[in-house]
Amino acid sequence: MSLIYLNGDYVPHEQAKISVFDRGFLFADGIYEVLPVYHGQPFMLAEHMQRLHNSLHAVGITPPHSPAEWEVILRHLLSAEQLDNAILYIQVTRGAEFPRNHLPSPNMQPTVMAYLVPFTPPTGEPAPVKVELLEDIRWLRCDIKSVSLLGNILLKLQSTASGAQEPILHRAGRVTEGASCNYFIVKDNELITPPADELILAGLTRQHVLNLARSAHIKVREQAFSTADLFAADECFMTSATREIIPVGQVGNEVIADGHCGPVTQQLIKLFRASRS
Ligand code: PLP
């Protein structure tokens, strides 16, 4: 990561500066997006652009660029950084203004930043991980990909402190998602994941896995499931852009089924990897 796209310019990262009065810094008033690039090709570009647009629209920030303009920026960064596999990070805040005021002025100029980090797509058999069941303490608009991630960070810290890789969150016994991933369970050969409502971020890896499963005639249900369903599952896995599909072998001290990567999870990992090349 040496080059940053910042408000229309490409600058070395040491020279990329934003105002201390930026509302992203003062209020976490902004949106972000994370998009993987495989072999020089952005993965699910249209879907990522739509999610960015939806999140900006939800908080009333005018989209600074069209999808076509974002693609030009991405391609410029890819060629400048000479990267084949990468993760594109986009950050858009409502902008900077002084004096500080919770109420933003109308028609603010957003602060717009994008950069790439090198990415090594997962290979080999992913080892099943341990996750920790925690209460979802976040706000009620988790469908917005907001930079306001303090709840997610506190939960991630808490799960890490108990030796888990990620929290698995629930609200009153209903499983939602992780700090930075979605969850699936398999029960009696059926794939079940919580619905894309306001309690979760509709992950695009989640979406892709659902599409792959339907194409492979795996039964799929987008439906809430309980923590009891989680403990009784035949398989469980998490999804995210940077980790793709990771089997879950253990929730707290409870082993899920036999703790190994189950056959449906294995099949989906194979399909996912075939689809990205
Ligand atoms: N849920 C949350 C809270 C996330 O932060 C993320 C990704 O960062 C996801 C789910 C997974 O989304 P995606 O598959 O688009 O990476």
Q: Are residues 250 and 155 in the same domain?
A: yes
Q: Are residues 100 and 70 in the same domain?
A: yes
Is 146 a pocket residue for ligand 1 (Cβ < 6 Å)?
no
Among 118, 142, 159, the domain-final residue is 118
How many CA atoms lie within 13 Å of 224's alpha carbon, on the beta-carbon side? 13
Both tokens of residue 169?
A: 């969150």
Q: Where are the alpha helices (DSSP H) in 162-255?
A: 204-215, 227-231
187 vs 205: CA distance, rounded Å: 20
In the reported structure, the alpha carbon of residue 110 is separated from the centroid of ligand 1 by a whole-number distance in angstroms of 23
Q: Are residues 137 and 272 in the same domain?
A: yes
Residue 123 lies in a domain: no
Residue 218 lies in a domain: yes
Instruction: Please give the backbone phi and psi of residue 207, each rounded to the nearest 5 degrees, phi first.
Output: -60, -45
Among 118, 139, 174, the domain-final residue is 118
Q: Are residues 136 and 192 in the same domain?
A: yes
Nearest to 91 by CA among 26, 30, 7: 30
Residue 34 lies in a domain: yes
Question: Would residue 270 show up in a list of annotated catalytic residues for this protein?
Answer: no
Tell me the mean pLDDT in the region 255-271: 98
Which residue lies with its CA nearest to atom 3 of ligand 1? 180
Q: Are residues 154 and 215 in the same domain?
A: yes
Domain count, the chain: 2
Q: Are residues 112 and 185 in the same domain?
A: no
Q: Are residues 140 and 253 in the same domain?
A: yes
Beta-strand relationship, 182-187 and 235-240:
antiparallel
Q: Are residues 77 and 176 in the same domain?
A: no
Q: Are residues 87 and 153 in the same domain?
A: no
Residue 213 lies in a domain: yes
According to DSSP, the residues that pair with 250 across neighbouring strands are: 130, 255
The predicted structure's pLDDT at residue 258: 96
Q: Are residues 136 and 114 in the same domain?
A: no
Residue 237 lies in a domain: yes
60: left (phi over 0), alpha (psi -120 to 50) or beta: left
Is 240 a pocket residue for ligand 1 (Cβ < 6 Å)?
yes
pTM of the model: 0.98
Among 118, 139, 167, the domain-final residue is 118
Residue 254 lies in a domain: yes
Tell me the mean pLDDT in the region 129-145: 98
242 pLDDT band, cuts 50/70/90, is very high
In the reported structure, the alpha carbon of residue 182 is separated from the centroid of ligand 1 by a whole-number distance in angstroms of 6
Q: Are residues 184 and 84 in the same domain?
A: no
The residue segments making up the domain with residue 101 are 3-118
Tens of pLDDT, residue by residue over 89-105, are 999 999 999 999 999 99
SS3 content of the chain, % helix, strand, coil (to 5): 30, 30, 40
Q: Which atom of ligand 1 is nearest to the CA of 239?
A: 14
Residue 14 lies in a domain: yes
Asked which of 1-5, 58-62, 95-99, 132-136 is least confident by mean pLDDT, the reply is 1-5
Q: What is the CATH number of the domain that holds 76?
A: 3.30.470.10
Ligand 1 pocket test, pick from 144, 201, 238 with the greatest ligand atom count within 8 Å of Cβ, gives 201
Q: Are residues 145 and 236 in the same domain?
A: yes
Is 111 a pocket residue for ligand 1 (Cβ < 6 Å)?
no
Residue 124 lies in a domain: no
Tens of pLDDT, residue by residue over 50-96, are 999 999 999 999 999 999 999 999 999 999 999 999 999 999 999 99
